[in-house]
């Protein structure tokens, strides 16, 4: 019996038109970090984001990881505000299905590796925040607790007072699959950008998720 659904946000519910990871780092992030005396090359940064290295790895470079990520997240918020002004943040056309899921009596959570502020910003942008009973973003008290760690998933489960077997974790990436499974939950891969191996279920969009939940039972 499904009682709740935990959604990834970026690339699952919303996307960023024209976003290039390296370009964003070089043009937006690196200059701000260097002003704060923090020097980090793109490859090291990329590996901490991809999960090849923990977020706290930069301690070995003499960098305070919490300070660094707070700076990056503030910069990311400014970037997102600019994209929003330019109409370059888009919600996928199927996000209206969230309303149907709520009407089915499900508890909904949003779980993102982005900061709390960044996550809430994009959800508010499309009036999606109202559908979520809990929003869980990056936790600076556990900087390595981002997906694929199960930490944020478990945090959301506690906030919703649900057990892992009572929820579906929904996302687009391998990080979502790993985090969900490590938390003991079943995972639904939304195959907007291709299929990720290891998920329990596959849907092309959120409307298909509605049908899946109906089949599984609430």
Per-residue pLDDT tens digits for 139-193:
999 999 999 999 999 999 999 999 999 999 999 999 999 999 999 999 999 999 9
pTM, to two decimals: 0.96
Which pLDDT tens digit goes with each residue over 28-82?
A: 999 999 999 999 999 999 999 999 999 999 999 999 999 999 999 999 999 999 9
Distance CA 204, CA 189 (A): 8
Please tell me the predicted confidence (pLDDT) of residue 175: 97
3-state secondary structure 105-132: CCEEEEEEEEEHHHHHHHHHHCCCHHHC
Extract the tokens encoding 22.
């390296």
In which residue are the tokens 């939940």 written? 213
Is pLDDT at 218 greater than 90 in this prediction? no
Cβ(187)–Cβ(169) below 8 Å: yes
Residue showing tokens 């929820």: 167
Q: State residue 2's pLDDT score.
A: 97
Give the mean model confidence (pLDDT) for residues 210-214. 98
Residue 11 has pLDDT above 90, yes or no: yes
Domain 4-15+90-216 classified CATH 3.30.1390.10? no
Q: Which residues of 157-190 are buried (b: 16+ CB within 10 A; e: fewer)?
A: beebebebebbbbbbbbbbbbbbbbbbebbbbbb
């Amino acid at each position: 019996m499904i009682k709740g659904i935990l959604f990834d946000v970026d690339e699952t519910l919303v996307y960023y038109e024209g976003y290039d990871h390296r370009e964003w780092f070089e043009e937006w992030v690196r200059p701000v970090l260097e002003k704060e005396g923090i020097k980090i090359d793109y490859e090291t940064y990329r590996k901490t984001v991809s999960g090849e290295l923990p977020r706290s790895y930069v301690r070995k470079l003499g960098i305070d990881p919490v300070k660094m990520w707070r700076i990056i997240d503030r910069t990311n918020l400014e970037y997102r505000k600019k994209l929003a002004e330019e109409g370059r943040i888009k919600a996928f056309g199927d996000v209206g299905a969230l309303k149907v899921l709520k009407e089915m009596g499900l508890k909904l959570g949003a779980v993102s590796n982005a900061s709390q502020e960044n996550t809430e910003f994009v959800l508010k942008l499309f009036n999606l925040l109202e559908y979520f009973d809990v929003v869980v973003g990056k936790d600076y008290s556990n900087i390595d607790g981002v997906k694929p760690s199960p930490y944020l998933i478990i945090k959301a489960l506690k906030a919703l007072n649900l057990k892992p077997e009572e929820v579906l974790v929904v996302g687009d990436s391998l990080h979502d699959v790993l985090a969900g499974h490590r938390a003991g939950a079943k995972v639904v891969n939304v195959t907007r950008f291709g299929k990720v191996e290891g998920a329990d279920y596959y849907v092309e969009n959120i409307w298909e998720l509605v049908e899946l939940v109906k089949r599984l039972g609430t």
